[in-house]
Amino acid sequence: MKSSLLVDDIPKKVFEYIDIFYKCPNCQKNYWNGKHVKEINNLVDIINKK
């Protein structure tokens, strides 16, 4: 979801790197897969290799 409704809730810099956003139907907060997702996936890969 990319909409003008998101602009006020998401830092402008995020739009330079992220194209897909999610809105929680319960709390109406906006979410996106940021840097932390990549870091967590890398950690999972390291753990799985052991």
Give the DSSP letter of residue 26: T
Domains of the chain by residue range:
4-49
Q: Long-range contact list for 31-35, CB < 8 A, 24+ apart? A: none
End-to-end Cα spacing for the chain: 38
pTM of the predicted protein model: 0.59
pLDDT tens for residues 2-50? 555 566 778 888 988 899 999 899 998 999 998 889 999 999 999 999 7
What whole-number distance in Å separates Cα of residue 50 and Cα of residue 8?
43
Q: Is the dihedral of CA 2, 4, 8, 11 positive or negative?
A: positive
